[in-house]
Amino acid sequence: MKKIIYISIIAILFVSFVAFEILRKSKVPILRVNNASSVVVDINKNGKEDIGEVICIPDIRTFTADLSVNQKELESLLKISREDGIKLGYLTDIFAEDLLLDKKVSLKNINKRDENCTYADILINNESYRNKLIRSGFGIEANKTNSNFYNKLKSAQKLNLVILNHKSNKYHKLDCEYGLVANDTIIVPLKYLDDAKPCKFCFVKHKNNNKLPHIETAYPLIISNGDVKLYLTDSTTKLKPDRDCTSPVCKMIKAQISEAKNSIDIALYGWNSVPPILSELQKAKQRGVKIRVVYDTSKLNYYPKTEEIVSLADHSVHDNYKTLMHNKFIILDNSTVITGSMNFSQTGLSGFNTNSIILIKSKEMAEIYKKEFEQMIAGKFSNSKETQTIKTIKLTQTKIIPLFSPQNKIIINHIVPLIINAKSYIYVPAFTITHKQFAESLINAKKRGVDVKIVVDATKPIAKNSLVKDLREHQIPVKVENYAGKLHSKSIIIDDKYIVIGSMNFTNSGENYNDENTLIIEDERLAKYYKNFFIYYWNKIPDRYLKHNPNAEGKQSIGSCHDGIDNNYDGKIDIEDKHCR
């Protein structure tokens, strides 16, 4: 019996070895970089991690910023501090991710395995990854260093890094015992933290007037220009949603509802209960204000509480199920319009998501929106609606063209021409980009010397039909946000002159099928303001996410593992999600 078991084990090992040798000759994708000397490779190409797919680089040692890894021996050997080891590990991790993530590689087996690793060198375009590590100074062979190691150490020592505890939302010095023993942490540059609080035990104000480290203050989120007021929400400073209605945009909507005298018409994609807004609508109804609601009921809708607001309406109509009623606008007393990218939910109204919202005091604008609303309340949606005559509304200091999908073919007929005529810059904070002509116009603008920058939401770079990869391949810098809340804006800023704001994503369905509204705004003051917010937001996102895509729910996305939200729509929240463990 023992002999049979022994023969079986030998046979299994032999088969595994032969299979490994066959598979290593073909290129296989990298699934995950644990650290610079340990990666997960999808050897059997089934898209998930299986036994035997952890590849360790032989006879080399590297630092990492993963605090669960004990590197005291290596720090002692090289005579560097724990803090310097973590800083060097931070740079080493980035170096490894830049080389390996999203790549297909081949493996050079050395016939060595243990219970944790299959040992092999990784070949990137037939070049040895192990040799690249050594030459860079990040890889240490036989406990020997080279001149590049000390150059990298000097660069690392200049970094202002802290330990962020996701659960407590506090940050610690790299040598702080409270940070080092916490379970849910990540090493981040201090400049990326606004909302987090300093650990009082390692950042202490003394009588000698030592101050806490400076953190860039949040960007101002409101600007008024005559009859127009622009509101922005900033997901980098709000790491957990609430229903308290304390954000500037929620207070504004609540105040506008409280002042309504005759009518409130609401077109919404979805509603999640925010009690102060619901209460204000109930008061409006009690004083005789007529409330009407048009809403979405598609299978894609993530807002099960929508009936709560629909029940208040004197008249309500939902869409035809086949396309999205994706609008998010309110018309008050036929004289005021509130519209933009924000859904009426706790993630939108609390400022947890990044959105752009605009308040317009204009009877002419309200009349145009009301014509659109009346068609939907009468049961006409998507391509069954009649096309309105396109008008430019001239306000005190602002020109606005209101457009509606799918009638106006907004991207092809209106946005692409703006991009074609751009001369200086085009900045795009966008939830998603899948519209090919839109992407092509941005690529062509980049080729003629226009400064094009894009930020997209973390759920979208690898989504079906996403054009992020194509845009990056054409040298357009595209960052992926790494915060708990979504980048939910659907905006463009061009040449200190134009802003595009609305509910429409830059997608084929947004332009050709869904019910959407978009504003093209010509206003130098508003455009410069939004441009500066974009630059602020861009700088809050690490440059490493110009190449790599952080998980929407995971330790890379700040706050996402303790926000109570299913950020990546996999049915698992916070610690239930494998990326948060």
Residue whose C-alpha is closest to residue 434's, from 477, 464, 409: 464
Structure tokens at 144: 């020997």
d(CA 315, CA 331): 15
Q: At what angle do helices 275-286 and 248-259 cross, to 10 degrees?
A: 10
What strands lie across the sheet with 197-198, from one edge to the other? Answer: 185-189, 161-165, 170-172, 197-198
The alpha-carbon radius of gyration of the chain (Å, integer) is 27
Q: If DSSP codes are grouped into helix, strand and coil, which group holds residue 432?
A: coil
Place of tokens 């395995």: 113
Listed residue (581, 513, 511) closest to 551, CA to CA: 581
Pairing assessment for the beta strands 161-165 and 38-41 based on DSSP bridges: unpaired
- Residue by residue, DSSP assigns 294-341 as EE---TT---TTHHHHHTT-SEEEE--SSS-B--EEEEETTTEEEEES
* Cα atoms in the 13 Å half-sphere on the side-chain side of 448: 13
Phi, psi of 447 (to 5 degrees): -65, -30
The answer to whether 261 and 288 are in contact (CB under 8 A) is no
Other Cβ atoms less than 10 A from the Cβ of 255: the count is 10
| CA distances (Å), origin 519, targets 185, 228, 491 | 41, 12, 10
Distance of CA 424 to the CA centre of its chain: 26
**Is residue 357 a contact partner of residue 338, using CB atoms and an 8 Å limit?**
yes
The gap from C-alpha 11 to its chain's centroid, in whole angstroms, comes to 48
Say what angle helices 147-157 and 129-136 make with each other, to 10 degrees: 70
> Would you give the end-to-end CA distance of the chain in angstroms?
42
Tell me how far apart the alpha carbons of residues 140 and 559 are, in angstroms, rounded to a whole number. 34
Beta strands in 471-543 (DSSP E): 478-480, 492-494, 498-502, 516-522
Classify burial at 280, counting beta carbons within 10 Å of its beta carbon; exposed 0-12, middle 13-18, buried 19 or more. buried
- Which residues are annotated as catalytic? 488, 490, 495
The answer to whether residues 164 and 556 touch, using CB atoms and an 8 Å cutoff, is no
Whether residue 489 contacts residue 356, with contact meaning beta carbons closer than 8 Å, is answered with yes
| Alpha carbon 509 to its chain's center | 21
Cβ neighbors of 287 (< 8 A, separation 6 or more) are none
